[in-house]
Amino acid sequence: MDAPPNVSASNSEAIENEDVPMIAASHLSGKFRALANYSPENLSSEIKRLASLSYHALKRELEPKDHIQTLPVELLAEIFTIGQAFELEAEATPVSHLISGAVCRKWRTIVLGTPPLWRWITVDDRDPWDRTRAYLERAAQCPLHIHMPWVEEEDADEASIRTVVDLNNAMDLLIPHVHHWRTFQLDASQYTLIYHALLRMEHLSAPNLEELSLSHQDDAEVGETFEPEALSHRFKLFSGGDEVPKSLKTAYLWGVHLDWATDLFTQLTSLTLAYHSNDNSRSNILAQKGKKAPMHGQRNRSLSSPFVT
């Protein structure tokens, strides 16, 4: 057997430097156990190779391997996407992609480059809307699930109250992506916000929209006519295209004033209505549906209709 090679100068200097972390004994013992299985010829060659390595290269080689980091990028991206799907069964707003992206630089790069992880957008930030902008950009051409949770607490301070300016600024960001909307949900305490959202959406075309939820949540009593009268315009939603969205299957409408004389709702398989005044009642939409459906709940107050097509 050849004489043991001398330790390289770089290794010697590194070992003498107290600032350099030493190689753990457990890592060395693992390598020694592996060397015991080498033939004499191969053992000599392996010792020479190890001795020629720099200290940091030797340390990297002896450290235990993280096998998950050897997985292909495409497989890791698919794992993150599947994990988010499981998360969405329990949570409305997924965060697992943010956690995964904080693990290491490689995972962050993968998460940022996987558009499906960014398609669930909760618009609860404010000008300059950095988070909403980032999600829209990262989602690329994916179908978008948009939620605007703008219900305010009764004791909310003035600075936290949403305004029509906020609504229009948010819609300015969302509307250019309307062809990618898969679901859209707006919950608001102030009907002025609902009104201006309807105004912005009336003449849009949303061909891929499958679920629409508009909810005006306040404590006002529902009367014979819609109030305030100044905001009682009956909007004909998504009437800007050659034809209305045929993909809309689910609608949740809570205290909103719409024009039911539209084909928008004719393909519904699930409809929830609540808190509509008598002049904006469910009878109109049922007439548009063209067939009877089982109903339950108080008239014009809280009802659900699972349409069968």
List pLDDT tens digits, range 237-276. 888 776 666 789 999 998 888 887 777 888 889 988 887 6
Q: How many CA atoms lie within 13 A of 120 on its CB side?
A: 14
Spacing of C-alpha 284 from chain mean position: 35
Residues 93-115: tens digit of each pLDDT: 899 999 999 988 999 999 999 99
In a domain, 25, yes or no: yes
Q: What is the mean pLDDT of residues 124-145?
A: 95
Rounded to the nearest 10 degrees, how much is the dihedral formed by the CA atoms of 236, 241, 247, 249?
0
| CA trace torsion 290, 292, 293, 296 (10° rounding) | 120
Is the pLDDT higher at 62 or at 126? 126
The whole domain housing 36 covers 9-64
Length of the chain: 309
76 occurs within a structural domain: no
Whether residues 32 and 150 fall in one domain: no
Domain assignment present for residue 72? The answer is no
Residue with the bigger pLDDT between 28 and 208: it is: 208
- What SS3 class is residue 123? coil
Strands 181-188 and 211-216: parallel
Do 33 and 154 have their domain in common?
no
Do 54 and 187 share a domain, yes or no? no
User: What proportions of the chain, in percent to the nearest 5, are helix, strand and coil?
Assistant: 45, 15, 40
183: in domain? yes
